[in-house]
Every structure is written in C-alpha cells, then in structure tokens.
Amino acid sequence: DADVTQTPRNRITKTGKRIMLECSQTKGHDRMYWYRQDPGLGLRLIYYSFDVKDINKGEISDGYSVSRQAQAKFSLSLESAIPNQTALYFCATSPGHSSQETQYFGPGTRLLVL
Amino acid sequence: EDQVTQSPEALRLQEGESSSLNCSYTVSGLRGLFWYRQDPGKGPEFLFTLYSAGEEKEKERLKATLTKKESFLHITAPKPEDSATYLCAVQAAGTYKYIFGTGTRLKVLA
C-alpha cells in the first residue's frame, strides 16, 4: 500500500463550489505539506503543518484553507473554486525529527474548475 | 531571493548516450538539495539528498553531485525507462520551506 494517499485522484467542479482534497499518510511523519503544480511554474507551496496544532501559510495560500485532523491526515479546501485553481495538487510528508529532511509525495489530485 | 533554475528544459538522448542535467541555486545558506523523478500524472519520487559541497550520491545509472552554486544529475548509459521529468529542490537554512525548479524533461530513445 502507498505510504501517502490522496483522494480524490481526479475532480471536476464548477466555479463557486467548495471542495475538499484529502491526504492520509502511514509513514508516521509529523510534517505535512500541500503543493500545486502548474505547467512551467514548478511546485508551489500552499500550506504546511509541523504538527496537529501548527499550521502555516505557504507562498500561495489565498483562496485555500487546511485542516490537520490528526498526525496522519491533512485536508485542503477550496472555499469558492475559481478556474485559475485548475492544477495538479500534491500532498507531501517529511519526518520532522532532523534538520535536513526529505519530502515524500502522494500520487496527486488533478482538479479542473469550470 | 532564493531561486532554483534547471537546465535544459528538455533533453532527448539515444539509449546509451550519457549526459548531465543541471540545477543552479541561489539561497542564503543551503540546508539540503533534493533530486526527484516525476512520471506523467504521478507524484515526485525521491532520488537523492545532498547536504554539502563536494558530496556525491549514486543509484543505478544516476549520480548526483553538489557544488556551492549548482548540482548535476549525471545519467550514464540511459535506458528508455529513465524517461521522466527530473526535479531539483533546495531547502534554505533558517526555513523549513522547499524551493523547486521547473524540471528537466528527459526522453531516452531506444
């Protein structure tokens, strides 16, 4: 089974709708991240969380919110989806117990906002 | 401003034709440099972490090296299954954020 899972894998929604993307991990890592990937722009950080009570904004957090329900679960919400939020979304985890850390990524959610 | 630039954007090789991918970075102190492989429609897959200039790591046909300004991913005698996008990322000292390059799309022809 995959260590980092994301649901749904694909989603089509309409402008103005609220949607939630979910991420679960079995790696036992404390730190979790949400990124979006757009062609030509690379991966950009939306939010990150170092533990259940520690959530931080990334470089492009406007229009997004997150919830860390447990060490293993980190959800991303689009409060009112807009077409320029069409992208590939990735969840990632890292151990959180050393100063130099590797991130491990989920399989991604492809989101289309009409 | 912290920045990562990868070159070339795209590379086509014949099977067995060795080459190198470049990752240039500017950060105010390097905590770590990471290489990932990404297949179409999938999440990035971790390859290597490098921490200090002069460090080298190898895995099968891949070898990553690091200087104070750039990293190279050397691919020796590539095979078609090495075709993918290779991503480079850095983590700057004093921050837990990661800065990603836009990747090099590698195509290895049989």
Shortest CA gap A80–chain B (Å): 25
Q: Parallel, antiparallel, or unpaired: how do β-strands B84-92 and B104-109 relate?
A: antiparallel
Q: Measure CB to CB from residue A108 to each of B43, B89, B91 and give the nearest one.
A: B43
Structure tokens at A24: 């679960």
Q: Measure CB to CB from residue A41 to each of B45, B97, B102 and give the nearest one.
A: B102
Structure tokens at A70: 């447990």
Q: Measure CB to CB from residue A102 to each of B46, B100, B101 and give the nearest one.
A: B46
For chain A, 114 residues long, give each residue's pLDDT as a single digit of tens.
569 999 999 999 999 999 999 999 999 999 999 999 998 888 999 999 999 999 999 989 999 999 999 999 999 999 999 999 999 999 999 987 665 578 999 999 999 999
Number of A to B CB contacts under 8 A, please give it. 54
The reply to whether residue B97 touches residue A104, judged by beta carbons under 8 angstroms, is no
Chain B neighbors of A108, CB-CB under 8 A? 41-43
Q: What is the pLDDT of residues B2-51, one digit of tens each?
A: 899 999 999 999 999 999 999 999 988 888 999 999 999 899 999 999 99
The reply to whether residue B32 touches residue A101, judged by beta carbons under 8 angstroms, is yes
**Sheet strand arrangement including A4-7:** A4-7, A19-25, A73-78, A64-70
